Structure 1
Amino acid sequence: MELTMEDLPSMPLEEWAATKETLHRFEQIVGKIRLASSPRRNHWWHVPFRLTGTGITTRPMGVVDGNPLFTVDFDFVRHRLTARTEEGREASFPLAGHSVASFYREVLAALDSLGVHVEIARPYPYDLPDAARPFAEDTEHAAYDPFWANRYWRVLGRVGGVLEEFAAGYSGKTSPVHHFWHTFDIAVTRFGGGAVRHPEEAGPLIREAYSEEVVSFGFWFGDESVPEPAFYSYTAPEPEGLTGAPLPDGAEWLDGAHGHLALLRYGRARAAADPRAAVLSFYQAAYEAGAPLLGWDTAGLACPDGVTDPDDKLRSNWWQT
């Protein structure tokens, strides 16, 4: 597979900022439903969305909270939100034409019509400038451009495929490739096994997410600090000397709020002769920068082509016979 510039379409932040801000809050509402209706998993892996063929899904949830088994899916091809129960009942409505406040009411009404009753513990945005305003009162964010929503999905799908390919090269503990609704990024994380203790004041999110040594890899659509999409990687806890490691041409080390990020800007990746190879090379370089400094056995954890069996004979395409 070779990605081209057409496969990674232009995604200038300024062109879809209003849609992005509204959609981010839509996803936080549904994400908080996921948080309230699913059993807790290590490192908060129960919280993020997963990709589907036309958008993103909460995955099945319920039962543990007394509700029937249900899912909530965003469809960025047909531009609808659909809730379904295990009995086949469903409720659906268009994504366009809603403010955050009306979307919030519509989601809860759709679930209620299916016999699903969810109480969001804190129905406010998480870590956004309007975090003190309830979803139910946000009539400011009301932009939904189907063109940019679909393009956002296309980029997610392409990047998700590259992350899946990169994830296959590691035989240690690895997260799923998942889309985080609080930070609006897509990521996969490799764990080395070393325990990390954080002070109480770090908060439950940080203490659980980073309770082990990690090197994480992802992509986000830009923000105030980096106003353009970018591929990224970070090592936590950050070892001394990390930023002295080389990165491929076009990539850079960026001083972030919680340490250093390895960064490959989306435009640089798109301009490469082979964008997929450029991104994979960037992720590998970032991994080789951080993991050895944490003392990981990178050779022993390598998993070429997704194969752990040491017998090369078993690398043949037996599933095609």
Structure 2
Amino acid sequence: MSQRGTARPDLDYEQLAPTVDYVNRVVQVAGKYTLDEPFEVGWGNVVLDVTPRGLSTRTFRHPEVAFRVHYRLLDGDVLIESDRGTRTLSLRHESVASFYRAFCGTAAGLGIGPPNSSLICEIPGSPPAFEDDRVPRDWDADAARLMNTAVNLAADGLETWQAPYLGHRPRVGVMWGGFDLSATRWRPQRTTPTPGRPAFQQNAELHAYLSVGFSFGSSRSPHPGMYAYLWPQPDGLGSRAWGVEGAAWHPDAGLVQLPWPALMRTPDPVRSVVAFGDAVQAAAVDLAGWPDDLVCPRVDGWYMSRTPTAEVQRLEQEWHEHVHARD
């Protein structure tokens, strides 16, 4: 298992908030291209990949051009890479509106049209569209560096946690609307969506799932940290232990929350993210009737370059015997 837990960024919401709010808005510009891609269960197609230097879209393959967009937080720029060439533009702009104009002009130079929607999503109190957001913005390189370090640490833990899951699991990534990093596990059990919610939320509630993720916080909850929830929400969550000291169920929010300072106090934050996720999976089995054979034994890295094939076969055999013993 990864040992990247030595990175321990100190996250202060008030310090990060202006940069987080700005980045949340500008990543939606390229994120909009995903709305015309084939739908994956739980909107798994829309997430931005966490890269060593920032956040990136998947590759879009249009009839005229293939491209992807990389928001490089550590470099303070955006790289648009296509089969026609590459272009960069700065993340330092006087407003979201000026960034949007610059992005569309730069993309056009590669034969890439603007996204089919310019609406700003899931940000309360925001102007309706990118063109209308003329609030003055300052770029804080130090805040961007902290954001990148934190999201890479959280992604390391979440990707490790997801590895042994046998069911459907979209790739770990940042949902560009709510701007949270999420790792979701799905179960093929139809459920009834909550009436009155937006279409994208109702689509997400067509089947049972659980989600573990990371958030920088918000004005309503200015506390960075890990979160988790189950859909549908079972009874009994208040009496559970959640794998890491400081993690607790918050019924008003409908979330299990692990504050960032509590995570940073653990000996290995990456392993603690895994322990937190495992506790959520256990709650799904115990309280929501999830099958207990959807997660195979976690191995501390297959390390196939140096692990004998016989050892891999032994571990697989132990897993099959474990499953058959319950049948």
Alignment TM class, shorter chain as reference:
0.7 to 0.9
Deviation at 1:200, TM superposition (A): 5.5
Deviation at 1:316, TM superposition (A): 7.7
Q: Secondary structure at the match of 2:61?
A: coil
Deviation at 1:68, TM superposition (A): 1.0
Deviation at 1:29, TM superposition (A): 1.7
In 2, the alpha carbon distance for the partners of 1:264 and 1:203 equals 27
Q: Secondary structure at the match of 2:250?
A: strand
In 1, the alpha carbon distance for the partners of 2:293 and 2:231 equals 20
Match of 2:282 in 1: 288
- Normalised to the residue count of structure 2, the TM-score between the two structures is 0.86
Match of 2:67 in 1: 70
Assess if the C-alpha contact under 8 Å between 2:19 and 2:143 holds in 1: yes
In 2, the alpha carbon distance for the partners of 1:60 and 1:21 equals 25
Which amino acid is 2:21 matched to?
E
1:246 aligns with 2:241: yes
Pairing 1:1-321 to 2, within 5 Å after superposition: 1-4=2-5, 7-36=7-36, 38-63=37-62, 66-87=63-84, 89-121=85-117, 123-198=118-193, 201-247=196-242, 248-257=244-253, 260-305=254-299, 313-314=311-312
Deviation at 1:129, TM superposition (A): 2.4
Which amino acid is 2:287 matched to?
L
Which amino acid is 1:11 matched to?
L
In 1, the alpha carbon distance for the partners of 2:218 and 2:18 equals 12
- Segments of 5+ residues of structure 2 without an aligned counterpart are 303-308, 316-327
Q: Deviations over 1:237-273 (max 9, x none)?
A: 001222222224211111245xx21111000111123
Assess if the C-alpha contact under 8 Å between 1:13 and 1:222 holds in 2: yes
Q: Secondary structure at the match of 1:35?
A: helix
Which amino acid is 1:86 matched to?
D
Check 1:98–1:35 CA distance in 2 against 1; reply closer, same or farther (3 A cut): farther
In 1, the alpha carbon distance for the partners of 2:296 and 2:290 equals 11
RMSD (Å), alpha carbons: 2.3
Q: Secondary structure at the match of 2:251?
A: strand
Count of aligned residue pairs for this structure pair: 306
Q: Secondary structure at the match of 2:276?
A: helix
In 1, the alpha carbon distance for the partners of 2:219 and 2:285 equals 29
Which amino acid is 1:18 matched to?
P
In 1, the alpha carbon distance for the partners of 2:116 and 2:51 equals 25
Assess if the C-alpha contact under 8 Å between 1:84 and 1:91 holds in 2: yes
Which amino acid is 1:302 matched to?
C
In 2, the alpha carbon distance for the partners of 1:166 and 1:18 equals 31
Which amino acid is 2:3 matched to?
E
Which amino acid is 1:271 matched to?
R
Which amino acid is 1:102 matched to?
S
In 2, the alpha carbon distance for the partners of 1:101 and 1:39 equals 28
Which amino acid is 1:253 matched to?
W
Q: Deviations over 1:43-88 (max 9, x none)?
A: 211111112222111111031xx4411111111222111112113x
Q: Secondary structure at the match of 1:82?
A: strand
Deviation at 1:169, TM superposition (A): 2.9
Which amino acid is 2:155 matched to?
G
- Normalised to the residue count of structure 1, the TM-score between the two structures is 0.88
- Using the aligned pairs only, state the percent identity: 24
Check 1:233–1:312 CA distance in 2 against 1; reply closer, same or farther (3 A cut): farther
Assess if the C-alpha contact under 8 Å between 1:124 and 1:131 holds in 2: no
Q: Secondary structure at the match of 1:301?
A: coil
In 2, the alpha carbon distance for the partners of 1:7 and 1:316 equals 35
Q: Secondary structure at the match of 2:223?
A: coil
Q: Deviations over 1:184-229 (max 9, x none)?
A: 1111111122111225633321222121111111000011232121
Which amino acid is 2:102 matched to?
E
Which amino acid is 1:103 matched to?
F
Match of 2:323 in 1: none
Deviation at 1:279, TM superposition (A): 2.4
